[in-house]
């Protein structure tokens, strides 16, 4: 267990719950062991809200854009909290290897399939990284809907969907399968809005 993460979680959670209150649905669906948590991404607060919605011992890791690690102090803090950088728009083998290792060791990995913050569903296509990680490791994907209209002191909702492993024809997903399955994942994420 990452003791630094647990410490920060314990300090931060009461403030997050006070300033950005939220309710959680479907947390009982969270599988034990490795899983890729795939959420929509509207606000910079999303990773923090999802993290504190989970138990502090969930073993959560974060794939975060490389730019966040540019400042030495911020980069140190993020790494201590379990985040690692990914160079978006490139085939970042170092990030992929780190992600595979996390999942194979039973940790949970948070990814935003849209690859960036978006204002509305459909503003961008889903990226295929989550599909690739799931099909290569055999761990399930967990769609997560994080309420789109977050306001200071106004309650939002976080919904955890049913975990599933995407079905592919061969040992590895083709480019076409990856694209189709990534879009299906995004549909599953936004479908959870109806239960929020």
User: What are 44-96's pLDDT values in tens digits?
Assistant: 889 999 999 999 999 899 998 899 999 999 999 999 999 999 987 777 899 99
Q: Are 190 and 121 in contact (CB under 8 A)?
A: yes
Between CA 85 and CA 80 the distance in angstroms is: 12
Q: How confident is residue 115, by pLDDT bands cut at 50, 70 and 90?
A: confident
Task: List the structure tokens of 34.
Answer: 């490795």
Non-local CB neighbours of 79 within 8 Å, separated by 6+ positions: 69
Q: How confident is residue 194, by pLDDT bands cut at 50, 70 and 90?
A: confident
Whether the pLDDT of residue 195 is over 90: the answer is no
Q: What is the mean pLDDT of residues 181-190?
A: 95
Non-local CB neighbours of 111 within 8 Å, separated by 6+ positions: 36, 37, 38, 39, 63, 129, 130, 133
At 123, phi and psi to the nearest 5?
A: -65, -25
Task: List the structure tokens of 5.
Answer: 């993460």
So what's the pLDDT on residue 122?
Answer: 66
So what's the pLDDT on residue 77?
Answer: 95
Q: Is 144 helix (H, G, I), strand (E, B) or coil?
A: strand
Q: How far apart are the first and last CA of the chain?
A: 31
How many CB atoms within 10 Å of residue 27? Answer: 13
């Amino acid at each position: 267990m990452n003791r630094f993460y647990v410490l920060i979680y314990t300090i931060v959670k009461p403030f997050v719950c006070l300033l950005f209150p939220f309710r959680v649905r479907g947390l009982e669906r969270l599988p034990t062991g490795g899983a890729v948590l795939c959420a929509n991404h509207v606000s910079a607060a999303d990773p923090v809200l999802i993290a504190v919605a989970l138990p502090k011992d969930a073993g959560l890791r974060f794939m975060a854009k490389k730019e966040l690690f540019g400042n030495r102090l911020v980069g140190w803090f993020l790494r201590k909290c379990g985040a690692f950088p990914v160079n978006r728009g490139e085939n970042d083998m170092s990030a992929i290897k780190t992600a595979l290792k996390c999942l194979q060791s039973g940790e949970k990995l948070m990814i935003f399939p849209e690859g960036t913050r978006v204002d509305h569903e459909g503003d961008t296509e889903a990226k295929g990284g989550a599909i690739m990680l799931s099909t290569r490791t055999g761990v399930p994907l967990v769609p997560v809907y994080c309420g789109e209209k977050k306001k200071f002191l106004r309650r939002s909702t976080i919904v955890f969907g049913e975990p599933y492993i995407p079905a592919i024809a061969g040992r590895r997903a083709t480019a076409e399968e990856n694209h189709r399955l990534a879009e299906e994942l995004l549909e599953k994420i936004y479908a959870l809005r109806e239960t929020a």
